[in-house]
Amino acid sequence: MVRKKIDNRIRVMIENGVILGHRTMFVIVGDKGRDQVVILHHMLSKATVKARPNVLWCYKKELGFSRKKRMKTLQRKIKTGKLNVNEDDPFELFVASTNIRYCYYSETHKILGNTFGMCILQDFEALTPNLLARTIETVEGGGMIVLLLRSVASLRQLYTMTMDVHERFRTEAHNDVVARFNERFLLSLASCPRCLVVDDQLTVLPVSSHNLRVEPVEKSEERVDRELISIKESVQDLKPVGVLAKAVLKFIEGISEKTLRSTVSLTAARGRGKSAALGLSIAAAVAFGYSNIFVTSPSPENLNTLFEFVFKGFDALEYQEHLDYDLIQSTNPEFNKAIVRVNIFRDHRQTIQYIHPTDAHKLGQAELVVIDEAAAIPLPYVKAMLGPYLVFLASTINGYEGTGRSLSLKLLQQLRTQAALVGVTADKEKLKSVATGRTLHEVVLEESIRYRPGDMVEQWLTGLLCLDATSVQPLLTGCPPPDSCDLYYINRDTLFCFHKASESFLQRLVALFVASHYKNSPNDLQMMSDAPAHHLFCLLGPVDPNQNFLPEVLVVIQVCLEGQVSKNSVVDGLSRGKRAHGDLIPWSIAQQFQDQDFPMLSGARIVRIATHPDYHGMGYGSRALALLKQYYEMKIPCIDEEKLPEDHIESISAEEVGLLEEHIVKHRLVLGSMAKHLLLVPRKSLPPLLLKLSERPPEHLDYLGVSYGLTLPLLKFWKRAAFVPVYLR
């Protein structure tokens, strides 16, 4: 076996991550990247001073190796004593000796709330922004994320790679998907100092030129007295709590009130210790004598951390398993032996029972209901679980879990209103107030407990997926009259090119969408960037041509072109009761009214219209909508009668450049003969980010429509804009 010296930067970066409590990311390019996972895991195991890091291995359909057969063979060898460490495949030994949690991408919702030392992501074409956020955030500080890519001659080939999700973006009239998200993802790697791109021989590629020198971090040696050393030794097995202690105290306050009409809401970004706080609080509720405690979550596997801390709380209360309590694990193989029930019988019979989010009708005898990862549960189910009992609510609100922002805007606002209810006169109303008027306590956690503050991978992921766009910046330009505002078309090639100004503008747009009452998730970002039928418009106040800063966005509109479905597809779809992705309005109308001609018309659906939260009800949304209608009605004269050429990402041939020759550079100016090597740059000669409506000819449409969840204010808004309801369900 030929020995090869591995680049020292790899070892130093892993060790630095362990010392700093930060995560490290490796992108391995090549078909044999799987074999290098063993070496990276070995380095990580040597650097950490605890048990072998457990591994999360995510894949689409096929692992590429049979884990069951390997495990049986190895276990047989171990039993008979025939296992030879030198002769046997290192990968087989790695699989046999490491705690690996294999997970389909389609089932990653089950790993929410778990913590791993290493995460391996294979099958790049199946990755989506949601999956990236869901899996990377399960890795602890000092851990490692490994992204496995197949052999490519140039990383620019990823620009034109067809992703699995692109199939959903295609419609019959719009087939050409442009992978803008892949381009932005690749360019963003240059902004992450904790990321190395290597080949399947662990040679660091020039793409990682921003990490030419990786200096080892020294452990800070502090002079400590003996008393401090003894205190540290006494608590070394305990996890640090910090602000968590205050959160647990707030929960215990709610428990001790015993009014059974309180809601304690705990909101935070991922990995802040929500499940740990809930677990300790449940143990406290048991100590306070609560008998019927129900816990819900999208999957029982999400509750592993929660139950771990319930049992830590029991240990502190000196409860003993089998003597004072028993736990019951699920027999369903899908749930991976997750705990679904805890029976306590120390003083009197008490139970902690897992319940599915759809089973709210079974909560009749509940005294405490704990809703973990509430943001991942549809809002109607969460509302149905609020009743005449104490409710603990924990949710992620950075837009990742899907309904997170919707939960904080709608549900918490509704609870705040109910909490402020004063006495009502009528008896019936009083009874209703008692049933619904709940006291609300809110707790927010800021610091991460999985990794230390300043984690570069978190900053990279947050920037890439616009996860920190939960707070909208206040406008500095005042309130211009709506009639003086203009609607602009946003060029998506320029918006997602990873230029500094474009990134800032993109963060503002996403912040408006997140602050609106729409369901949000990072996947929406990929749809916004790659879906061929989608277009973006924004309403801006009067713009000074001499200003050197980005204009303030008042309203942003996302439009999806629909229709132009062929007659054969319509007949086939209606006869089979199936319909393709997209074209929501054409298929809905065709199925409801059995009209085979309507889907053949060309239309546009307003997917989202979001106004700056400080300027709701001032006429800006109506102004933007009126201008959009004028644009598609061709009432705005177009300066350029010829259709503008669509920009696209040109594919690159395998022979044009090699992996060992290409770099990522952040600047556009490339000098002299280096130009042919420095290829991974934000694209040059892009069109302007914003175009006036008079500078872009509109698509020819037969109708403009919208689909929305019906509420009285929204119905009034769309009726004022002359939109007529045609279908209600």
Q: Are 680 and 664 in contact (CB under 8 A)?
A: yes
Percentage of the chain surpassing pLDDT 70?
83
Residues 6+ apart with CB under 8 A from 685: none
619 appears as a binding residue in the annotation: yes
100 appears as a binding residue in the annotation: no
Sorting pLDDT into bands at 50, 70 and 90, what band is 620?
A: very high
Pick the CATH number of 244-445 from 3.40.50.920, 3.40.50.300, 3.30.1300.10, 1.10.150.80: 3.40.50.300
C-alpha–C-alpha distance, residues 411 and 278, integer Å: 20
> Is the confidence at residue 429, as pLDDT, over 50?
no
Please indicate whether the domains covering 8-211 and 244-445 agree at the CATH topology level.
Answer: yes
The chain-wide mean pLDDT, for the chain, equals 82
278 appears as a binding residue in the annotation: yes
17 appears as a binding residue in the annotation: no
275 appears as a binding residue in the annotation: yes
Residues 6+ apart with CB under 8 A from 455: 21, 22, 23, 141, 194, 448
Most confidently predicted of 258-267, 515-524, 657-666: 258-267
622 appears as a binding residue in the annotation: yes
C-alpha–C-alpha distance, residues 37 and 58, integer Å: 13
Residue type, 385: M
Residues 6+ apart with CB under 8 A from 147: 25, 26, 27, 28, 121, 124
**pLDDT for position 242:** 66
272 appears as a binding residue in the annotation: yes
pLDDT digits (tens, 9 = 90+) for 95-118: 878 889 999 999 888 887 788 999
Q: Count how many residues are written for the chain.
A: 729
Q: Is 116 helix (H, G, I), strand (E, B) or coil?
A: strand
Per-residue HEC secondary structure of 23-80 comes to CEEEEEECCCHHHHHHHHHHHHHHHCCCCCCCEEEEECCCCCCCHHHHHHHHHHHHHH
616 appears as a binding residue in the annotation: yes
Q: Are 706 and 723 in contact (CB under 8 A)?
A: yes
Question: What average pLDDT does this structure show over 390-404?
Answer: 70
Domain ranges of the chain: 8-211, 244-445, 466-564+601-644+689-720, 568-596
Pick the range with the lowest mean pLDDT from 240-254, 306-320, 553-567. 240-254
Longest dimension (CA), the chain: 87
Closest residue by Cα to residue 13 from 457, 463, 661, 449: 457
290 appears as a binding residue in the annotation: no
Question: What average pLDDT does this structure show over 200-204?
Answer: 88
> Is the confidence at residue 438, as pLDDT, over 90?
no
- Beta-strand pair 116-121/55-59: parallel
Pick the range with the lowest mean pLDDT from 31-35, 89-93, 265-269, 280-284. 89-93
331 appears as a binding residue in the annotation: no
H-run or E-run covering 264: strand 262-268
Sorting pLDDT into bands at 50, 70 and 90, what band is 666?
A: very low
> Is the confidence at residue 217, as pLDDT, over 90?
no
> Is the confidence at residue 599, as pLDDT, over 50?
yes
φ, ψ for residue 148, nearest 5 deg: -95, 125
C-alpha–C-alpha distance, residues 507 and 485, integer Å: 21
Residue 87's Cβ-count burial label (10 Å; 0-12, 13-18, 19+) is: exposed
C-alpha–C-alpha distance, residues 295 and 398, integer Å: 23
pLDDT digits (tens, 9 = 90+) for 320-367: 988 999 989 888 877 778 889 999 998 899 999 999 988 888 888 899
Token pair of 180 as six digits: 């803008």
**Could you confirm whether domain 8-211 is CATH 3.40.50.460?**
no
CATH topology of domain 466-564+601-644+689-720: Aminopeptidase (3.40.630)
pLDDT digits (tens, 9 = 90+) for 439-481: 888 888 887 778 888 889 989 998 998 887 666 666 666 788 9
pLDDT digits (tens, 9 = 90+) for 410-426: 677 777 777 765 344 34
Task: Compute CA distances 64 → 34, 35, 60, 558, whole Å.
Answer: 9, 12, 11, 40
Task: Compute CA distances 41 → 37, 369, 375, 377, 459, whole Å.
Answer: 6, 40, 33, 35, 24
Comparison of pLDDT for 586 and 658, the residue scoring more: 586
720 appears as a binding residue in the annotation: yes
DSSP 381: H
Percentage of the chain surpassing pLDDT 90?
32
620 appears as a binding residue in the annotation: yes
**pLDDT for position 653:** 44
The predicted model scores a pTM of: 0.80
Question: What average pLDDT does this structure show over 558-571?
Answer: 89
Task: Compute CA distances 86 → 24, 41, 83, 500, whole Å.
Answer: 29, 18, 9, 51
276 appears as a binding residue in the annotation: yes
Beta strands in 589-711 (DSSP E): 602-611, 690-692, 703-706
33 appears as a binding residue in the annotation: no
Half-sphere exposure of 118 (CA within 13 A, CB side): 25
**pLDDT for position 220:** 58
pLDDT digits (tens, 9 = 90+) for 266-312: 888 777 888 889 999 999 999 999 999 999 988 888 788 889 999 99
**pLDDT for position 671:** 35
> Is the confidence at residue 662, as pLDDT, over 60?
yes
Other residues' Cβ atoms within 10 Å of the Cβ of residue 61: 9
C-alpha–C-alpha distance, residues 180 and 526, integer Å: 8
**pLDDT for position 435:** 44
Locus of tokens 């700056």: 612
